[in-house]
Structure 1
């Protein structure tokens, strides 16, 4: 598995893509206090701090989540004082280095009326978190068979100059037909039309998905950690003392 190095400015953006999105193209979805931000809770479950080494950012995050609250953040393996890590997930981040993007004649644009079907497909295939308003984050495309939604892919994080392809999933009964690849190419076509570059994340243990993405033109940029952190009891007792 090869790894690429991006230029300094792009690397900085993709090292903290949720913060770049929440303070940029997705600012209208953001709840922000100082150096911390999160998506509206029915849009996406992601939080971000401007700088994980800045105590001010963690103070702002504490105010955002409230006493004893939890936050899903990227890149944190050791929580700062007043916080504890209660869960860790390992992943990879891949970027487009040779993807052939093209519209798909069978792909249909999905919207709010399709959310119940989307949530059902996501629940059965588990591509990652998807909430009732995630569909508003960008273009979501699906393929139907006899009216039933059988495959899905769309746009999630949008740091400036980049768009994440996410929620790539196919009904188990229809796998092996190349539907996911077709939808990734179709979503990427819209991203590239805007002059942006696709990237995506996958679980580190999902070797099949990683191989698929690499085979169609994505390259591993870095390994990632996503952590669920929680304010410790001592921290919020001290705040209220």
Structure 2
């Protein structure tokens, strides 16, 4: 069965929805808010997403171990039509399918985590207010100080799913989302950080807890990605009820 471009959201939702935690980011990108920035490739029951709302575009390809070989075939077939430079999130074992077409520079192993014990949220005192368009400038200043390598699109504030702690005219901690889709019942936390001068006060856990409580009113699955060697962040997420459910690797791909 050859690889094909897939344009039917219902088909994609059915395939991805079989494992909504593993595919939370892709399910979220089916939402109207993100859909115009997506291209989808399908081979049988395997799906890969190219998200081109960022520069460079990002390829998402996740599979359970039993499906890795089938998804690798899809990636090898689609490699010739991918951009010359892109970023990629790949389940372990998939990188070799692209190695003949791209130089792969590793961005490290990451954990996919999911909120599996929401009762732990009650053990953290939530803090923060919902941020809006007027908070864009202080939010960008916070990211410049505390998280300059993050990926943040100002459109994300339009979701209404960013929570921050203010001190005067400045933001000291924030938790937001990369995707949020009530239609597909998934959310993925992102752009979480605390001002370096305010760390060690529990603000990270407080804003994450506040955001998770807010998200659980509209979605079933709350997930996030975190770099595997970021032990402090992993501990904080575990404290509020997240557990590790999958591993994946990030790469910068450059055509050869």
The TM-score, its normalising length taken from structure 1, stands at: 0.76
Aligned pairs for 1:1-241 (under 5 A) are 12-24=19-31, 26-32=33-39, 34=41, 36-41=49-54, 46-48=58-60, 51-54=71-74, 55-60=76-81, 62=82, 65=83, 68-75=84-91, 76-80=94-98, 81-100=100-119, 101=121, 107-126=128-147, 128-136=150-158, 139-158=161-180, 160-232=184-256
RMSD across aligned positions (CA): 3.1
Q: Deviations for 1:174-232, whole angstroms, at most 9, x for unmatched residues?
A: 12222111111111112110142211121111111111211221111122211111222
In structure 1, the gaps of 5 or more residues are 1-7, 233-241
Q: Deviations for 1:110-152, whole angstroms, at most 9, x for unmatched residues?
A: 2233222212212222273223333345511111012211110
In structure 2, the gaps of 5 or more residues are 1-14, 43-48, 63-70
Give, in whole Å, the separation in 1 of the partners of 2:130 and 2:103. 41
How many residues align structurally? 219
* Residue equivalent to 2:3: none
Relative to structure 1, the CA distance from residue 16 to residue 198 in structure 2 (aligned partners, 3 Å threshold; closer, same or farther) is closer
Native 8 Å contact 1:19 1:49 kept in 2: no
Native 8 Å contact 1:155 1:187 kept in 2: no
* Residue equivalent to 1:5: none
